[in-house]
Amino acid sequence: MGRKNRNRQRAQQNRDGRAEGKRSRDDAGWGAGYAEIIKENKLFEHYYTELKIVPEGEFEEFMEAMREPLPATIRITGYKRYPDELAWHTNLSRKILRKSPLLEKFHQFLVSETESGNISRQEAVSMIPPLLLKIEPQHKILDMCAAPGSKTAQLIEMVHSDMDVPFPEGFVIANDVDNKRCYLLVHQAKRLNSPCIMVVNHDASSIPRLYFDQDGKKDILFYDRILCDVPCSGDGTMRKNIDVWKKWTTSNSLQLHGLQIRIAVRGVEQLAVGGRMVYSTCSLNPIEDEAVIAALLEKSEGALELADASPDLPGLKYMPGITSWKVMTKEGQWYSDWSEVPTSRHTQIRPTMFPPTDPEKLANMKLERCMRILPHHQNTGGFFVAVLVKKAPMPWNRPDGSSADAPVEAVEGETPAEGNPSVPDTPDLLEVKKDNVCGPPPPKKMKLFGFKEDPFVFLTEDDPIFPSIQAFYDLSPDFPKLNVLTRTHEGKKRQLYMVSKELRNVLLNNSERMKVINTGVKVWSRNTDGEQFGCAFRLAQEGIYTLCPYIRARIINICVEDVKVLLTQENPFLRKLGDDAHNQAKKLGMGSIVLRYLPDPKDLDAPQCPIDLCGWRGKTSIRAFVPRNERLHYLRMVGVEVFHDKQGKRNDCSTEIQEGSTEDAVGLSQEHHSSVPFYDAAAAETGHLEVLVG
């Protein structure tokens, strides 16, 4: 047998082995190694029976729900002009959605719409914290532990609640300690094409304090809203993370408690007076939940207040926070009070893990305002959430060292050591870090240089690339040139991005204080052959809705039939367009264009929201320059259903794919504008859908 044949055979065997392995994992239903996992943990049952977090008589129902697969839920992107019923709950597990032939079309729909940023497949309880933040478009928001990014996406959507404003005053800074997970975060954020998001990579417990210019002076940046969704033991996720069943012990919570407090402390330090912070976990354990909130409230000396969030989600079923709990070791030893803990256990069990002993102090905390979501009450995962409002600076941040009656308008100072919440007058909150038992070892000092990320370089107003862009697209005088950036100091600028004015302010004032992974939305890409047509930069679909308010030329108005032609034919002749669009196109020279559909209120069968597509006007033809999944989305909007079978076979109704001249495609990447096969058919039966959030 020749070498090539042997190599082919080995490659085929490898493919067969991988396919068989995948089938085995899929048959198990949950992933490699999960088939052997028995959904039982006696210590877990004993612990939560003793703590009485589940109403009397419901514990068996609670455990049965924990053993059932988690149903799939989806959320429609909130700022893309959709109705108010934005979150939907199916009666189907993720496995059934993925594997059922009857649901193949629906699954493809979910995948492509998720990739194009129009929906998010997000667990129902995960949607709650952003809703409770009460975000407005002008808010400065910090997401402290953001990866993988489903909640971050919600925050971005809320900042962009008015789609007619391309640059809201507010922004989202999304942080995660794990560099690799930061790129999952970038992927999530990029789907939404926002100029108001920045992804950074820091330890949340020591995230650096940032500065910005305000009225000619440099001020500390305090956030209006902070999402503090901390790392946790995750026992509320047993329905989807099956390995928690065999790994669960109380030691997970004991080890995380200190880290959770440190992160929460750092959060409230950076929260503006009058601001709102949501603390959340996917754990049911009071050591990670009420104990952390009680510690924060006690040390705040009245600066923080637990808000009653129940009116904000009136349909939500939840259990109020508890005010009495005990601490159990992994060996099953119980302690009701810190005084009972032997000295030998002081490195594992801390005073802040217990409820306050003073009845009046405990009552004033109003811990019952915390919310614990139990799986059997509305077929969800388990979750905990609490809303904190900041009434005054934290005691250790008050410049005069005064107590809780300091004036609300006092300006917070810096912590004793920049980026470190450790202070002499809060020993119980922070001893856990010194003991090095509640969480990972103290992080090494953050390096501010030597990261491999490309730089973020803002263009100057007189940059030589601007005149040709300005003239070609007839940009309006109020176009914010100073918000344009690139990712290189040297050589030709290949991509141009835009951020909001406020994020530009943050970047310019903190470039040496933080590690920025990604920011900005791509608005132009260099086209090497474009100069002959008057401009070296073509429009990028990602940034079309950011740019369009400023573009006054190179626009062709199109109708629904034009949309169908442009998105199903790769390079149609100009004459394929309707008469109106054809006449407009003939008046334009070659180069990048905007293809704009405007709704007709009289034609209710047509899409009732505007559509802007990037395109290219060739010598004799025209094409849309739109990523594949976005094409599928717009085709669905105009009534064209798109579907591939599992073998990749497709019915292709585009009979004139290569109709236009090859000269017309000069300089354009094939990746973004391949034709999309389609057929007109009803969607498959998709099972019951139930609205979650109005």
Q: Which stretch of DSSP H or E encloses residue 458?
A: strand 457-458
Cα 529 to its chain centre, rounded Å, is 37
- Residues 3-25 have pLDDT tens digits of 445 444 444 444 444 344 333 33
**Per-residue confidence (pLDDT) for residue 644, from 0 to 100:** 64
Residue 656: what residue type? E
Is there a binding annotation on residue 312? Answer: no
Structural domain harbouring 295: 42-397
From the number of C-beta atoms within 10 Å of its C-beta (0-12, 13-18, 19+), residue 47 rates as buried
End position of a domain, from candidates 397, 429, 462: 397
Last residue within a domain, chosen from 397, 419, 453: 397
> Cα separation of 12 and 6, whole Å?
10
Q: What is the CATH number of the domain that holds 355?
A: 3.40.50.150
In angstroms, the CA 607 to CA 638 distance is: 6
Residue 649 is assigned to a ligand binding site: no
pLDDT band for position 27 (50/70/90)? very low
- Provide the 8-state DSSP code for 43: H
pLDDT tens digits along 641-671: 877 655 555 444 333 333 444 444 443 433 3
508 domain-assigned: no
Domain boundary among 397, 413, 436: 397
Question: Per-residue pLDDT averaged across 595-601, rounded?
Answer: 94
> Is 203 assigned a ligand-binding role in the annotation?
yes
Q: Is residue 357 part of a domain?
A: yes
Query: Using an 8 Å Cβ cutoff, are 272 and 225 in contact?
Result: no
Helical ranges in 238-340 per DSSP H: 244-247, 250-270, 290-300
**Owner of token pair 């060739």:** 618
To the question of whether residue 176 is assigned a binding role by annotation, the answer is yes
Per-residue CA distances from 678 to 114, 219, 243, 559, 629 (Å): 19, 55, 41, 19, 13
H/E element holding 182?
Answer: helix 179-190
Q: How far apart are CA 47 and CA 278, in angstroms?
A: 27
Sequence length of the chain is: 694
Whole-angstrom distance, CA of residue 286 vs CA of residue 280 = 12
Q: Is 148 annotated as a binding residue?
A: yes
What are 124-156's pLDDT values in tens digits? 999 999 999 999 999 999 999 999 999 999 999
Is position 275 annotated in a ligand binding site? no
User: pLDDT band at 451, cuts 50/70/90?
Assistant: very low
- Nearest C-alpha neighbor of 472 from the set 580, 577, 522, 547: 547
pLDDT given for residue 425 in this prediction? 31
Q: What is the pLDDT of residues 287-327, one digit of tens each?
A: 999 999 999 999 999 999 999 999 999 989 999 999 999 99
Question: What secondary structure does DSSP assign to 190-231, as a single string?
Answer: HTT--TTEEEE---GGGPPP-EEEETTEEEE--EEEEEEE--
Query: Is 477 a domain residue?
Result: no
184, part of any domain:
yes
User: Tell me, what's the pLDDT at 441?
Assistant: 35
Domains contained in the chain, number? 2
Mean pLDDT across 338-367: 96
* Angle of CA points 148, 422, 149, to nearest 5°: 10
Q: Cα-atom radius of gyration of the chain, to the nearest Å?
A: 28
Q: Is residue 660 part of a domain?
A: no
* 307's tokens: 């808000």
- Asked whether residue 639 is marked as a ligand-binding residue, the answer is no
- State the pLDDT at residue 489: 77
Residue 645: what pLDDT? 58
Q: Which residues are catalytic?
A: 282
Can you point out the beta strands (E) in 499-610? 516-519, 521-526, 537-539, 555-558, 591-597
Q: What is the pLDDT of residues 539-591, one digit of tens each?
A: 999 999 999 999 999 999 999 999 999 999 989 999 999 999 999 999 999 99
Beta bridge mates, 551: 475
Residues 6+ apart with CB under 8 A from 329: 250, 251, 254, 345, 348, 349
Which two tokens mark 320?
Answer: 């109020």
- DSSP character for 362? H
- Confidence band, pLDDT 50/70/90 cuts, at residue 28: very low
What number is the average pLDDT over the span 684-689? Answer: 35
Asked, for residue 88, whether it belongs to a domain, the answer is yes
Burial class (CB in 10 A: 0-12, 13-18, 19+), 333: middle
Task: Report CA 18 to chain centroid distance, whole Å.
Answer: 32
Q: Cα(599)–Cα(601) distance, rounded to whole angstroms?
A: 6
211-256 residue pLDDT tens: 999 988 999 999 999 999 999 999 999 999 999 999 999 999 999 9
**Which of 392, 394, 365, 373 lies closest to 306, judged by CA?**
365
Count Cβ atoms below 10 Å from residue 437 Cβ, excluding itself: 18
272 marked among binding-site residues: no
**643 compared with 498, residue with greater pLDDT:** 498
- 600 lies in some domain: yes
* pLDDT value for 431: 34
Q: Tokens 């956030």 belong to which residue?
A: 223
Give the span between the Cα atoms of 636 and 25, in whole angstroms: 33
Q: What CA–CA distance (Å, rounded) separates 653 from 574? A: 19
Query: Contact at 8 Å (CB) between 673 and 625?
Result: yes
Residue 34 scores a pLDDT above 80: no
Residues 386, 229: Cα–Cα separation, whole Å: 10
In the 8-state DSSP scheme, what is residue 573? B
Give the Cβ contact number of residue 80 at 10 Å.
16
For the cut 70, the answer to whether the pLDDT of residue 424 exceeds it is: no
135 within a domain of the structure (yes/no):
yes
